[in-house]
Structure 1
Amino acid sequence: MFPELASGSDREALRFGAKALTYGELARLAGRLAADLSSRARVAVWATPTLETCVAVVSALVAGVPVVPVNPKIGERELAHIVADSAPDLLLAAPDADVPAGLADLPRLPVPVEVSGAVTGPAALPAEPAPETPAFVVYTSGTTGPPKGVVLPRRAVTSNLDALAEIWAWTADDVLVHGLPLFHVHGLIVGVVGPLRRGGTVWHLGRFSSSAAGEALAGGATMMFGVPTMYHRLALDCAADPGLAEAIGRARLLVSGSAALPASDHQRLADATGQRVVERYGMTETLMNCGVRASGDRRPGTVGPPLPGVSLRLVDDDGEVIGTSDGETVGEIEVTGDNLFLGYLNRPDATEKVLRDGWFRTGDMAVREPDGYVRLVGRRATDLIKSGGYKIGAGEIENALLEHPAVAEVAVTGEPDDDLGERIVAWVVPAGAEPPAEELADHVARLLAPHKRPRVVRYLASLPRNDMGKVMKRALDG
């Protein structure tokens, strides 16, 4: 998983503020900690955005022990469920970390990040575990019940990261900067394990800010990973600060994920920096499914074609494969490949529900363009609106509304309607004065189609979001 660890090189592997570790130092720390973990079935990691979290995760992976990352902002009930469900043998955390009572009964192993003595030559590391060995148990957000533990094998992690390296021309020369949390796939697996597998460098900001990202990219970083809320802030800040825009413009690659990046933010960033953001699409159970190549067409609203090694199809309501790639026909995405998880921990019933003949049913709705690019239109459960006999994706309406100058943020949902089946509702955070609802409806009808216009507009001061910046539509209620 980490070829560069065995080299004992003095290439910088990890940096958090003033603290940094070379590959040689990381190998020694990981080798020592791995020896204490080798007999464990599973370990929990208190996943603060720190050097200790990265050392803990690398050590467990080197030892072949599955990692359960725990969100440091987790609530009591969810924490109790995760601990009971995953039954970790140990808690790995920074020596000074203040962990909640829900973890107090677990034996705790402090994670060292200081290397004593000179570091020379390769470190002694355990043999590489088998590809099907579980690497992570990552818990889902639990929007429809208690969180489920997604068991990801080493095979899924390594094959998926190698596919991303291929499409993004990602090498050991790249320095990745990000400020994402380290308890989920995007921030931890792609954002930390990804660069370390390449033999490159991770610079973590601790907490994202436009100025910190600009300083890193001006100081040698080559890539940045972020989510749409970060890029929205960055686009506004770059428009106001030419120096920041110049620094961001030096990046080799800017990657956005976890939710769709509005076309308006794509354009703002391009206008200010000359950079066009690359989008990708994935989920916990499958890691990354699609991605725009570094050399590809960076079209707003699309997530590119399937990754190498990933097979993707669209199916209709009856599970029949949609053979057309017309950019209009909406279907549910199903995927298969080495990127798939092993199943939900202790939940064979839930695993069976999402697999169909070896294909994973994502619950995401999309259309496929003639050139193979995938365009997401929303989740089946919350974003597919059936109105007047049409299947309408909430995402495309949201993107259209964000092009209106009076709209700062928006979420689109459906609600029951006696005539239409469902009517389209737009929840709008105005950029200033509230624009007339009729004006917004006409704007959507002009850009998309009359049947896609919102029938109801409700104004809010802000949208409910989770830790990743995703809008929690279930919290919106009329």
Structure 2
Amino acid sequence: MTLLPALRGFGADRADAVRVAGRTLSSEALLGCVNAVADRIRGAGAVAVDGTPTLETVVGMLGALHAGVPLVPLPPDADERERRRILRQSGATLFLGRDLPDTHRLPTVPVDLRQRSSTRHPEPSPGTDAVILYTGGAGGPPRGVRISRRAIAADLDLLTQAWRWCEDDVVVQGAPLFRAYGLVVGLLGALRVGSRFVHLDRHAAAGPVGTMYLAMPEQWARIALNSRWARSLTAARVLISADAPLPSAVAERLRLLTSHSPVQAYGTTETLIALTGRADDRTAAGAVGTPLPGVQTRVLDREARPVPADGESVGELSVCGPTLFSGYVGAGQGFPAGRWHATGDLASVAADGSYRIIGRCGLDVVHSRGRRMHAGQIEEALLSHPGVREAAVVGTPHHALGEQVTAYVVAEGLTAQVLIDHVGRYLSACQRPRRVHFVDELPRSAHGRIRKSLLIAAG
């Protein structure tokens, strides 16, 4: 099995095969640079690469994969303590790139794009670890997830069919390179299919021309507020959103501005993309589509019983299939083939088989007077107000209710009562926030996840 045909000399030589931060490498130059890195690190235990999006980062990451050495991407916003923890747990023995002061005294191998090599490296075994990615850390310390080359190839081949992805596409993506969506789906997907790849800077005010756009919900929300930028996407073939649920209000504004209904996809670090809408198919607003072929799913209630496919009943989503991870770092035995992985995400299933992701099992549920209210539904109602940029809902202690609905909102020119009344137009009275806090920004982990535990502690 060849994981990345583009790194084996297959396909056309493109002058602009990869573009990051305005810098470009041709197919031939990319292969030469990647070979040069692979020459220097072959046989290492695991290598770490800083996830800041640069051409050097991309070449370093691809060099590790080409050499068959497990890749450990480091979140650029992680503090020294977190980086040291990742490096220690993952077993990284080298650091690729510029020398960082807190790389746990690892030997550093610089990535120099002037160095080229024509060495032919053998293709590693499909079952070996390709990457070690760390989970988002929204509900606890991030865990190292071992993902095999076989799982990556299986997921990308299924997505190629679902999204009608071909070598003529130009993939423009804004997801971080240290996350599964940006690294595996965006970068490795383009190299497996043979399409051009453009990494979009997250602070960009406009985007380059492409046929496939991959971005996260907060990025789509920013694009939706920039009418000129959004209308430039009209010529695209497909818009794809993943990593978190896309608010219906954002999806509708994008549809009006671009004439495209964004395709939503769902996956975790452990499952990769497991459910998705299909290119050119209309999926109900808020739905993340159906399971990929060969991927099995089930939604169980608190008594471990399957919930009915009525679009309303909610349970925990579990996944089984060829895209699953090999195991957690330091967990001893690997993840057995055929075993179900409980994602920790709440979901509902509609009669047509499409899924809707509600939120996390613990932090995204508010328990009030014996009722379980899902934060995701309240957040979506808040985000439907045109003045709200971001919103997070948590349950905070209340002397009579047990927990009350508390909202943290990034917005301007609004009052708490306006938003409480706005939610009341869509949801029941008990789902209206009792407290609304206006903040400049929501606290996030180094991986970009909203840290609801800090919001609960703040009250």
TM-score after normalising by structure 1: 0.88
Give the conservation status (yes or no) of the 8 Å contact 1:406–1:434. no
1:188 corresponds to: 183
Letter of the structure 1 residue corresponding to residue 211 of structure 2: T
1:68 paired with 2:96, answer no
Q: RMSD value over aligned CA atoms?
A: 2.4
Could you tell me how far apart the structure 2 residues matched to 1:459 and 1:91 are? Answer: 41
1:108 corresponds to: 108
Decide which of 7, 10, 13 is 2:13's aligned counterpart. 10
CA apart distance, 1:66: 0.6
Give the conservation status (yes or no) of the 8 Å contact 1:258–1:468. no
1:236 paired with 2:241, answer no
2:56 corresponds to: 52
Summarize the Cα distance change of 1:453–1:10 in structure 2 as closer, same or farther, 3 Å threshold. Answer: same
2:349 corresponds to: 368
Decide which of 439, 446, 456 is 2:435's aligned counterpart. 456
Give the conservation status (yes or no) of the 8 Å contact 1:81–1:146. no
1:162 paired with 2:157, answer yes
Of 386-395 and 251-260, more deviation after overlay is shown by 386-395
2:81 corresponds to: 77
2:120 corresponds to: 125
Could you tell me how far apart the structure 1 residues matched to 2:128 and 2:40 are? Answer: 18
For structure 2, the residue ranges without an aligned partner over 5 or more in a row are none
Letter of the structure 2 residue corresponding to residue 160 of structure 1: D
1:434 paired with 2:419, answer no
Q: Identity, % of aligned pairs?
A: 40
SS of equivalent residue, structure 2 residue 114 = coil
Could you tell me how far apart the structure 2 residues matched to 1:331 and 1:254 are? Answer: 28
Letter of the structure 2 residue corresponding to residue 363 of structure 1: G
CA apart distance, 1:432: 0.8
Could you tell me how far apart the structure 2 residues matched to 1:408 and 1:141 are? Answer: 21
1:153 paired with 2:148, answer yes
CA apart distance, 1:396: 1.1
Of 453-462 and 197-206, more deviation after overlay is shown by 453-462
CA apart distance, 1:336: 0.8
Summarize the Cα distance change of 1:402–1:308 in structure 2 as closer, same or farther, 3 Å threshold. Answer: same
1:120 corresponds to: none
Matches within 5 A, 1:62-461: 62-93=66-97, 97-103=98-104, 105-114=105-114, 124-211=119-206, 213=207, 216-217=208-209, 221-238=210-227, 241=228, 244-322=229-307, 324-348=308-332, 358-436=339-417, 440-461=419-440
Summarize the Cα distance change of 1:464–1:146 in structure 2 as closer, same or farther, 3 Å threshold. Answer: closer
Summarize the Cα distance change of 1:38–1:333 in structure 2 as closer, same or farther, 3 Å threshold. Answer: same
Could you tell me how far apart the structure 2 residues matched to 1:385 and 1:128 are? Answer: 49
CA apart distance, 1:313: 0.6
Cα shift readout 1:209-243 (whole Å, capped 9, x = no counterpart): 132x1xx12xxx211111122111111111xx3xx
Cα shift readout 1:171-209 (whole Å, capped 9, x = no counterpart): 111111123321111221111111011011111234441
Cα shift readout 1:113-147 (whole Å, capped 9, x = no counterpart): 23669xxxxx5532322221100111223445543
Summarize the Cα distance change of 1:296–1:31 in structure 2 as closer, same or farther, 3 Å threshold. Answer: same
Give the conservation status (yes or no) of the 8 Å contact 1:405–1:431. no
Could you tell me how far apart the structure 1 residues matched to 2:76 and 2:230 are? Answer: 33
CA apart distance, 1:76: 1.1
Cα shift readout 1:24-69 (whole Å, capped 9, x = no counterpart): 2222222333233221121111222111111112121122111011
Summarize the Cα distance change of 1:99–1:247 in structure 2 as closer, same or farther, 3 Å threshold. Answer: same
Give the conservation status (yes or no) of the 8 Å contact 1:176–1:224. yes
Give the conservation status (yes or no) of the 8 Å contact 2:216–2:241. yes
SS of equivalent residue, structure 2 residue 53 = coil
Could you tell me how far apart the structure 2 residues matched to 1:70 and 1:23 are? Answer: 26
TM-score after normalising by structure 2: 0.91
For structure 1, the residue ranges without an aligned partner over 5 or more in a row are 118-122
Give the conservation status (yes or no) of the 8 Å contact 2:242–2:266. yes
SS of equivalent residue, structure 1 residue 58 = helix
CA apart distance, 1:250: 1.3
CA apart distance, 1:419: 4.4
Could you tell me how far apart the structure 1 residues matched to 2:406 and 2:331 are? Answer: 35
Summarize the Cα distance change of 1:364–1:34 in structure 2 as closer, same or farther, 3 Å threshold. Answer: same
Equivalenced residues, count: 453
CA apart distance, 1:469: 4.7
CA apart distance, 1:474: 1.5
Could you tell me how far apart the structure 1 residues matched to 2:139 and 2:393 are? Answer: 19
Could you tell me how far apart the structure 2 residues matched to 1:264 and 1:54 are? Answer: 34
